[in-house]
Amino acid sequence: MSLSLRDQLLKAGAVSKKQHQQARTQKKKDRKAGKEDDSAANKAAAQKAREEQAARDRELNRQREEERTRKAIQAQIRQLASDHQVAKEEGETAYRFNDRGTIKKWYISDKQLDRIANGQLAVIGLDDQYYLVPYRIAEKIAERDEAAILVLNTRKEVDEDDPYADYQIPDDLMW
């Protein structure tokens, strides 16, 4: 087996045993110093990784909390709508309303149609279900989520001095 270069130089007498020992200890010191530099870099990288992980965890917790809040609000809206819904009276009058880009058609009574047009009733849409609710309940739902309100006509205040008060234009012309 061949000897290392140091051992060969030592055997040939080109290097003394003391020089060999000094070179060996110097090499160990250099390696140890290099490891310390690496360990400092490793510590910095580990600290940075921990900070990034903590930031990701905070963001994930924030998203979960938002989701939990959104679900709680949806549950409140669903509860309000189901507890206070007005039974839809089947009728021959077709009432059409817009549900997020889709036109929906209900057949309701003329009385309910007038109440919707006057702003006494509102149409609420939740999870592909529709509810007729009174105006005050619709306002409470709108405070929680404006998107749940599909139809909420404003109540009209009658102006006493209006010369055209006798000539009302109907909101729902039937042709």
Whole domain around residue 45: which residue ranges? 12-84
- Over residues 42-83, the pLDDT tens digits come to 888 889 999 999 999 999 999 999 999 999 999 988 888 888
Closest CA to 116 of 94, 101, 99, 100: 94
145 three-class SS: coil
- Regarding whether 96 and 57 lie in a shared domain, the answer is no
- Regarding whether 102 and 43 lie in a shared domain, the answer is no
Question: How many other CB atoms sit within 10 Å of the CB of residue 60?
Answer: 10
- Return left, alpha or beta for 112; rule: phi > 0 is left, psi -120 to 50 is alpha, else beta: alpha
What is the mean predicted confidence (pLDDT) over 19-38? 76
Q: Which residue, of 46, 67, 84, is where some domain finishes?
A: 84
Residue 116 within a domain: yes
pTM value > 0.85:
no
- Regarding whether 115 and 78 lie in a shared domain, the answer is no
The pLDDT value given to residue 61? 95
- Over residues 128-172, the pLDDT tens digits come to 888 899 989 989 888 888 888 888 887 666 556 777 767 766 666
What is the mean predicted confidence (pLDDT) over 2-28? 78
The pLDDT value given to residue 175? 56
- Regarding whether 112 and 54 lie in a shared domain, the answer is no
- Return left, alpha or beta for 89; rule: phi > 0 is left, psi -120 to 50 is alpha, else beta: beta
